[in-house]
Structure 1
Amino acid sequence: MAIERFRKFNTKDAYPEQSLDNDVCMAVRAGDTVYLRGQTAMDLDGNIVGIGDPAAQAENAMRCAEILLKEAGATLQDVVQIHIYITDRAYREPVYRVVGKWLKGVHPVSTGLIVAGLAKPEYMMEIDITAVVSTP
């Protein structure tokens, strides 16, 4: 099975304030399955979007996810599983409304978790996405 890695980077560049040195990437395609790195308030250029606004962060995360899926040969229609992490229960409705808009009619399996924190203190939400590329 062929494995392709998209948008490789090192965590020391993405998180210079932390003492990290991990080689990772934004997306991996293994056969027909695409795995996305957790998408957050950080856009694909490394800027933080929507500080203090969980809906704006979710919008950014889904916009980035759509781009990454396309680069890996998939679409949002191919999404089969999502995990949504929020740092406060109050963020559930605004985040889920945005994600629901982007995945309307897709019906992936979904798990939601409330966590004590994420990689950067500005992050209010994160979404992991797995997709299986549909055959034409």
Structure 2
Amino acid sequence: MTTHTRLRKFNTRDAYPEQNLDNDVCMVVRAGNTVYVRGQTAMDLDGNIVGIGDAAAQTENAMACAKTLLEEAGSGLGDIVKIVIYITDRSCRDPVYRVVGKWLKGVYPVSTGLIVEGLAKPEYLMEIDIIAVIPD
């Protein structure tokens, strides 16, 4: 009996051909009533990078993708319980957090923010990791 569902499966060789990887992963895992969303970045759901050099635009893309992925799993933005936001430079904090705050107004998830040296692609200025629930 399967205890979880994997949505939007892919292989990293397709998303990151320049990195010579070969890992089977997915965008979303639904386990019971919990939804785990792959870190969302400047890469849209078609594999295009948007908002190069613009942290706010990258965050808009990440949140729009997260909304779609959560809904495909039977959840939604209002069901988010935890977010982790990674930014590559302290100067990105304000634009990233303003966009996230707009999308999650009234949601009140627990939140962790980290400044990191880099992300999977050099164009990425931010990444947001999300855990949500599926309402009863």
- TM-score, L = length of structure 2: 0.98
> Where do 4+ consecutive residues of structure 1 move more than 4 Å?
none
1:12 alignment counterpart: 13
Shift of 1:81: 0.1
Shift of 1:15: 0.1
Shift of 1:84: 0.1
Shift of 1:2: 2.5
- 1:81-101, CA deviations, whole angstroms, 9 ceiling, x for partnerless residues? 000000000000000000000
Distance 1:101 1:67 in 2: 16
Distance 1:51 1:19 in 2: 23
Q: CA RMSD in A?
A: 0.7
Gaps of 5+ in 2: none
What amino acid is the match of 1:26? M
SS at match of 2:22: coil
- 1:17-67, CA deviations, whole angstroms, 9 ceiling, x for partnerless residues? 001110000000000000000000000000000000000000000000000
SS at match of 1:118: coil
1:101 alignment counterpart: 102
SS at match of 1:68: helix
SS at match of 2:122: coil
Q: Percent identity?
A: 76
How many residues align? The count is: 135
1:81 alignment counterpart: 82
